[in-house]
Structure 1
């Protein structure tokens, strides 16, 4: 068992991450319609192809809004392109801030803790046919050729960059073992896959059942469960165990939820990717993380 910012992660989970972190198809983004291969207007693309794995790998939410076209291409198709075409694509992905695009120095940083001679060799494997100047795009065909040690090291260092807070002392988590036996196995751990979100985490807490904790719960279903379990919005300044806190944006859309374990700590998952752990978090840290949104308290009545 290893740790990322003191959150535990098993070898089995790392192995699952290794299999989904780098897709076997690339989503290449362009400002202008490319001449030599088929592409689609992003707005006209069938949205079902943008699975959560695809969105997480390529960080689709952070792509520059100047991108207007997208091309979906298998690794083998990309590798068969001319050198000039590949260089143009790589440069464009870096400019548009697509995910799985790194400088050589960034990749070396993600490989830290791997012995130096091995790092140089493994970096060369990742660069084969997928690099230009000092820019490297990770592709499945190359990813599968590097050692599991390197894959797991990259993943752990990459996940570390997603997490703001260190896990609290083990004694704090242990104090909730008997009070929340259904949640305890998940506290301060990672999911094996993308999808489980904050709403599913809170729903599991209020129902004392983790049947749905691995799902990507929709907002409508979440509020139905709140009502079904007799939770109502209240106006109060008090902090009480088993309350649900929900944050809303300016359009009054729910953007996050957490479950209070006590007057000091909450059960929380900041996002729906595999890099967001289920965590026991101090309430003050939780407030700080979502300070840009309006918080409402729901209590069982």
Structure 2
């Protein structure tokens, strides 16, 4: 690991810089993307292109045009994290979801359990949506909000769907907003948006797991 000012690498000789960038590529450390991800090839210095990949560094990133940055980030999101499939938020959906539905966050780490707890508390715990929530914390908060596991696969507005593996570990959860639609978050990065998805979309992703239904009793 090297800790240095952002322009440090540009002060090295070409040979030294190449050695470091190739090490990043080989060790899969740091942000590297295929050269095909960028449209404006002229916006990337040749020194940062190796074996068909761009090795992104802070100083060179800051010199890139805004349009190239936007294009590259959009391509990365589409190719690696999310292809944008989502449903429109219904006009009669809860007001507290409007700020987040079908949008990207700005903080790393928030997970699906945090998104569900935000919805369960009707937005009153607004801070929680940016957190990483542990399974035990999640289940305890559901209990505090009077949710119980019930024997049904038919979900209604306000229900919580939970997908468990064979060891009883929660792998995903989503909040039902009615009309067979759910407030959902896949993944824990800023490239994983909060989205409105249909039950069929969720089933496609999680059908191999056991689904449980939690409802206010």
- Correspondence list, 1:1-301, <5 A: 71-74=1-4, 75-80=6-11, 83-98=14-29, 100-104=31-35, 106-108=36-38, 111=39, 119-124=40-45, 127-128=46-47, 130-161=48-79, 162-168=81-87, 170=88, 173-177=89-93, 180-209=94-123, 210-211=125-126, 212-301=128-217
CA distance in 2 between partners of 1:263 and 1:156 (Å): 30
Deviation at 1:133, TM superposition (A): 4.7
Seen in structure 2, the aligned counterparts of structure 1 residues 133 and 160 have a Cα distance that, compared at 3 Å, is closer
SS of match in other structure, 1:185: coil
Deviation at 1:80, TM superposition (A): 5.0
Write the deviation string for residues 141-189 of structure 1: whole angstroms up to 9, x where unpaired.
Answer: 1101112222122112222221145222x4xx13333xx1111221111
Seen in structure 2, the aligned counterparts of structure 1 residues 198 and 175 have a Cα distance that, compared at 3 Å, is same
Aligned residues: 213
Write the deviation string for residues 8-66 of structure 1: whole angstroms up to 9, x where unpaired.
Answer: xxxxxxxxxxxxxxxxxxxxxxxxxxxxxxxxxxxxxxxxxxxxxxxxxxxxxxxxxxx
* TM-score scaled by length of structure 2: 0.85
SS of match in other structure, 1:144: helix
* TM-score scaled by length of structure 1: 0.63
Write the deviation string for residues 112-152 of structure 1: whole angstroms up to 9, x where unpaired.
Answer: xxxxxxx233122xx44x33353321001110111222212
CA distance in 2 between partners of 1:134 and 1:277 (Å): 29
Deviation at 1:278, TM superposition (A): 1.0
CA distance in 1 between partners of 2:15 and 2:60 (Å): 20
Contact preservation (8 Å) 1:176, 1:184: no
Deviation at 1:220, TM superposition (A): 2.5
Deviation at 1:207, TM superposition (A): 0.9
- Give ranges in structure 2 of 5+ residues lacking alignment: none
